[in-house]
Amino acid sequence: MKLLVKGKIYTNKGLLDGSILVQDGRIIRVAKNIREPVDKLLDYSGGRRIVLPGLIDLHVHMRDFELSYKEDFFTGTGAAAMGGFTVVADMPNTRPRVNRPDVLKKREKVAKEKALVDYAFYYGVPDREADLVGGIEDLAMGFKIFMQHEFYTDKRRLTEKVLEFASKREMLVVVHAENPKFFVETEMGLSGLPQAEASAIKDIAKLALSYGFPLHVTHISSAAGMRELLRWRGRVGITVDTCPYYLLLNAKEALTKGAVAKVYPSIKSSKDAEILLRRLKEGKIDAIVSDHAPHPPEEKSDPRSASAGFPGLETTLTLLLTLVNNGVLELRDVVRICATNPAKILKLNEIGSIDKGKIGNFTVVDLHRRATINPKAFVSRGKCSPFEGKKVEGMPVATIVRGEPVMLDGELVATAGWGKNVKTYR
Ligand code: NCD
Ligand code: ZN
Ligand code: ZN
């Protein structure tokens, strides 16, 4: 199977007016002119479309298993393809949880049958030490630790076992860093103060220093948390991501939007948003994730009791491209935070850039296509967003995974089961 993609190509040396030849899922040539018979041609030359390296989302909840009424691998990876993401990394807070070898295997089976784009797994803190066994690394990229439930509780001992296990194998440890000591009751239910984040980051960074595991702090939401993280960086390797809403919304706006904008960690002040955006531009925040966390409408009505989180796969890239059009970010920032750095964090050398020998994952964007965010039209089962009604400029127009178009012009064109575990890249 040979695919030729023509157009403005985002390479490490800048934009190239040329072509990419993909054979059996791998890039075999990137050049100005490629004349060769192929099975499929995607021609994006002329106009304002740009072929980017396939985007990677390090933090999504595909739900499935017993929570498939919220989302499953088909709708979740469909949402990913619609939003321009070629790889998604799935969190283990499912029902049952992905914290036993047999459940991890079952997860692989379900994903393999339904996924449209490629996927990675994180393993959760197990309930028994016996579930921390060799073989986890054959399917999972790392571990996820939800500190308020698994570190500041009686699960701490098992969590430390995970840290030890991850250190030996140099497996990534992703943390939701909030210390419940700094939780307060609000109109949106229990919510962490900025100190909750700073305190948890300090506690986990100390352990990263003594154990040696690669630490990644996900969805940072506060300037205080970021300050603490930067204090540790240098002494210990830490990477960090945030989500678009921590940059674009503030607590006051979230409160007026109500349950739809309820998310953990909570959305902080406009000052926090401003500082996080500055750190992102400075390159101190490594990645942007969607934290795609769909829930049905009945769980998103009363702010106090609502489930936290909302879908993000179909809004993240378009929001970032809008920031590019507003002069806040540059296109190269978007590639760095959504492709290059996420690939590095996952230690996946096969993706993250358009080069000979890499996997043929691409996200084609139309930098100036305009739209209004409309959650009713999401492919995701979670049909809500705090960005509903927002005018955006810049949209994904094609998502290509291992040389196969998965989304073309807003239509899903691949069949369920095309997606593969990124572990198969090797
Ligand atoms: C996530 C979920 O719904 O699974 N919710 C959220 O508010 N972000 C859990 C999480 O990522 O903390
Ligand atoms: Zn979280
Ligand atoms: Zn999450």
pLDDT digits (tens, 9 = 90+) for 296-321: 999 999 999 999 999 999 999 999 99
Q: Work out the end-to-end distance of the chain between its first and last CA atoms, rounded to an integer number of angstroms.
A: 19
Nearest residue CA, atom 11 of ligand 1? 291
Distance from the alpha carbon of residue 264 to the mean position of ligand 1, in angstroms: 6
Instruction: Specify the pLDDT at position 275.
Output: 98
Query: Hey, which residues does 14 pair with through a beta bridge?
Result: 11
Q: Provide the whole-model pTM.
A: 0.98
Question: Does 233 reside within a domain?
Answer: yes
Q: Are 246 and 171 found together in one domain?
A: yes
Distance from the alpha carbon of residue 377 to the mean position of ligand 3, in angstroms: 22
Q: Is 88 in the pocket of ligand 1 (CB under 6 A)?
A: no
Distance from the alpha carbon of residue 382 to the mean position of ligand 2, in angstroms: 17
Atom of ligand 1 lying closest to residue 263 CA: 7
Amino acid identity of residue 52, one-letter, is L
User: Quick one: DSSP state of residue 299?
Assistant: G
Considering only CA atoms, give the Rg of the chain: 20
Active site residues: 291
Distance from the alpha carbon of residue 295 to the mean position of ligand 2, in angstroms: 15
Q: Are 277 and 300 found together in one domain?
A: yes
Residue-wise pLDDT tens digits, 318-354? 999 999 999 999 999 999 999 999 999 999 999 999 9
Question: Does 426 reside within a domain?
Answer: no
CATH number of the domain where residue 413 is located: 2.30.40.10
Domain that holds residue 300: 54-345
Indicate the angle between helix axes 194-211 and 223-232, nearest 10 degrees.
Answer: 20
Residues within 5 A (CB) of ion ligand 2: 176
Nearest residue CA, atom 10 of ligand 1? 264
Q: Is 308 in the pocket of ligand 1 (CB under 6 A)?
A: yes
Q: Are 60 and 14 found together in one domain?
A: no
Instruction: Specify the pLDDT at position 284.
Output: 98
H helices of 233-315, where? Answer: 244-248, 251-257, 270-281
Each as own residue / partner, the long-range contacts of residues 323-331 (CB below 8 Å, 24 or more positions apart, any chain) are 324/367, 324/394, 325/367, 325/368, 325/393, 325/394, 328/277, 328/281, 329/280, 329/281, 331/10, 331/50, 331/52, 331/367
Q: Is 263 in the pocket of ligand 1 (CB under 6 A)?
A: yes
Contact 419, 117 (CB under 8 A): yes
Q: Are 69 and 47 found together in one domain?
A: no
Q: Are 121 and 44 found together in one domain?
A: no
Nearest residue CA, atom 6 of ligand 1? 309
Give me the mean pLDDT over the 269-283 stretch: 98
Give me the mean pLDDT over the 278-289 stretch: 98
Nearest residue CA, atom 4 of ligand 1? 293
Question: Does 351 reside within a domain?
Answer: no
Rounded to whole angstroms, the Cα distance separating 54 from 400 reads: 7
Atom of ligand 1 lying closest to residue 176 CA: 12
pLDDT at 62 over 90: yes
CATH number of the domain where residue 141 is located: 3.20.20.140
Atom of ligand 1 lying closest to residue 93 CA: 4
Atom of ligand 1 lying closest to residue 295 CA: 3
Atom of ligand 1 lying closest to residue 307 CA: 3
Q: Is 176 in the pocket of ligand 1 (CB under 6 A)?
A: yes
Distance from the alpha carbon of residue 80 to the mean position of ligand 3, in angstroms: 15
Instruction: Specify the pLDDT at position 152.
Output: 98
Helix (H) or strand (E) holding 288: strand 287-288
Distance from the alpha carbon of residue 21 to the mean position of ligand 3, in angstroms: 36
Give the number of domains in the chain.
Answer: 2
Question: Does 37 reside within a domain?
Answer: yes
Q: Is 177 in the pocket of ligand 1 (CB under 6 A)?
A: no
Amino acid identity of residue 373, one-letter, is I
Planar angle of CA 51, 314, 298, nearest 5 degrees: 175
Instruction: Specify the pLDDT at position 46.
Output: 85
Instruction: Specify the pLDDT at position 426.
Output: 79
Rounded to whole angstroms, the Cα distance separating 117 from 422 reads: 10
Question: Does 380 reside within a domain?
Answer: no
**Strand 411-412 relative to strand 172-176: parallel, antiparallel, unpaired?**
unpaired
Question: Does 175 reside within a domain?
Answer: yes
Q: Are 186 and 86 found together in one domain?
A: yes
Q: What are phi and psi of 126, to 5 degrees?
A: -75, 165
Residue-wise pLDDT tens digits, 197-222? 999 999 999 999 999 999 999 999 99
Instruction: Specify the pLDDT at position 332.
Output: 97
Q: Are 201 and 318 found together in one domain?
A: yes
Q: Are 245 and 281 found together in one domain?
A: yes
Q: Are 38 and 151 found together in one domain?
A: no
Q: What are phi and psi of 3, to 5 degrees?
A: -120, 135
Query: Hey, which residues does 271 pair with through a beta bridge?
Result: none
Contact 280, 243 (CB under 8 A): no
Rounded to whole angstroms, the Cα distance separating 339 from 324 reads: 16
Q: Which of 64, 150, 264 for mutating ligand 1's site (highest number of atoms within 8 Å of CB)?
A: 264
Q: Are 70 and 215 found together in one domain?
A: yes
Q: Which of 112, 115, 102 is nearest to 76 (CA)?
A: 115
Question: Does 41 reside within a domain?
Answer: yes
Q: What are phi and psi of 319, to 5 degrees?
A: -65, -40
CA atoms within 13 A on the CB side of 12: 7
Question: Does 40 reside within a domain?
Answer: yes
Q: Are 47 and 131 found together in one domain?
A: no
Mean pLDDT, the chain, rounded, equals 98
Smallest-distance ligand from the CA of 263: 1
Rounded to whole angstroms, the Cα distance separating 243 from 288 reads: 5
Q: Are 39 and 72 found together in one domain?
A: no
**Those residues with Cβ within 8 angstroms of residue 193's Cβ, 6 or more apart along the chain or in another chain:** 182, 183, 184
Q: Which of 234, 260, 261 is nearest to 250 (CA)?
A: 261
